[in-house]
Amino acid sequence: MGAIAETDSHVEGPGGFRAWMIWGVASLFYLYEFFVRVAPSVMEPELQASFGLTAGALGGVLGIYFYIYAPMQLFVGPALDRFSAKTILVPACFLCAVGCIFVMSGHQSYTLGLARLCQGFGSSFAFVGTMYLATQWFPRRRLALLSGLTTSLGMLGAIVGNAGIAAAVSDFGWRITMKDAGYFGLFVMVLILFIIPHRPPHKQTKAPEKLSKMLLGLKKVLLNPQTWLAGVVTSTLYLPLSVIGALWGVQYIMALTGETKVEASGAVSMLYVGWLVGSPFAGWLSEHIGHRRLLLAASSLLTVGGTSLLLLFKSMDLWGVYVLMLLIGLVSSPQVIGFVAAVEHNERKFSGTSIAVTNMMVMLLGGLGMALFGGLLDWSAGSEALGDDGHYSINAYRRAMAMLPVCAAIGGLAAWLLQESIDQEAHQKAKEEAAQKKAEAAG
């Protein structure tokens, strides 16, 4: 199955200042939810001590975020296709903020689990909602770039969630830090309430589609093999962010370099800097050369190489780790193209559903990856799970890290099987028309 042709009934978004402002507010929610997602990575020892959890148990409890986030995508897409984004995003942002405030209220593991449940439920609407608004307010040719820019803002939230949170936790404690994060989430909710309209003015006002029809769209997307191939490669390219960035990276780098938590969290942030820089460039490059599949396959191959380097070193200086984290971030950042490929392989009226199903696969593998890595870490360390300093040995981390290049190789196979979603003839014609208009304007 190739790319889905554009239907005559679809009216493309106009772009312009208002479109950028609406997308900007929605993407601020995505920045916030990514901050919430990765914040535990610099709180891992405090969370283990506060809630009395092993590494595997902590990975499982924190993974609740992903376990609710992933299946919710089956409802997020159809809900956005049926209702307005504003109707969905306001309560979603509120619930995410409440989860941050609630996490500081107890010392039992179920309290942490419930907080992550609220955070994951609310966060599940952020990325898909932002990209859905992009499909409504911008021309289709802008989607790859907007996908990259949206991801870049998420990476900015992750950078704050690592380097910034590490200093805040050190100064004020993790509970106060999460409470303040909850208040910021309420501020974002107010922005969504007052800036994002219910419907774009260029769209005809009509009654919501029947639920049965939207579920039929979900069925079509799920039964499309290209959706699954795009989802697999997108998920495996995200896994380094989930495993290294969202939970285990700080402790791994502390064991590798002997540096403090604040310095190690700065190194982890370079992973997100790589995505921040690479994602919009990958989106632009994909549109420029007219290929999705080629970039996804190359990204998977390079990610195999980049993550394999994690297995080689028993020690490294901090600057070397900075370079390594930046490299892994850059080579895996074309992951964002997978979402656009999923949209292009399905009918345009099911754009929200296509993005959501792909995101479901990404988050499900992300949550399973966190728990699997924690289990591998406990298993590889054996009876000497913790050293005198309360941390795992570097050899235990290196053995557990072997899962990353293996998963990236599986993603590479999926990319090889994926069909190109861009119509090459139409793409070349559009480039020629754009060049002609530019020449006429210059003349």
The domain locations on the chain are: 18-197+214-422
Cα separation, 44 vs 223, whole angstroms: 39
pLDDT value, residue 4: 40
Helix (H) or strand (E) holding 122: helix 109-123
Return the percent helix, strand and coil in the chain, to nearest 5: 80, 0, 20
pLDDT value, residue 66: 79
pLDDT value, residue 3: 42
* pTM for the predicted model, two decimal places: 0.74
First to last CA, the chain: 42
Q: Which two tokens stand for residue 303?
A: 């990610």
Rounded average pLDDT per 10-residue block, the chain, 443 residues: 41 74 92 84 77 77 83 81 85 93 74 88 91 84 82 80 72 82 94 86 55 76 93 94 82 87 84 89 86 93 94 89 95 92 86 84 83 83 56 85 94 93 64 60 61
> Which residue matches tokens 């079509």?
220
pLDDT value, residue 338: 92
Please give the CATH architecture assigned to the domain spanning 18-197+214-422: Up-down Bundle (1.20)
Q: Classify burial at 212, counting beta carbons within 10 Å of its beta carbon; exposed 0-12, middle 13-18, buried 19 or more.
A: exposed
Cα separation, 438 vs 443, whole angstroms: 9
pLDDT value, residue 432: 58
For residues 109-145, b (16+ Cβ closer than 10 Å) or e, as one string?
A: bebbbbbbbbbbbbbbbbbbbbbbbbbbbbebebbbb
pLDDT value, residue 211: 61
CA distances in angstroms from 163 to 27, 132, 270, 424, listed in the order given: 21, 30, 10, 43
Residue 18 exposure: Cα atoms within 13 Å on the Cβ side: 11
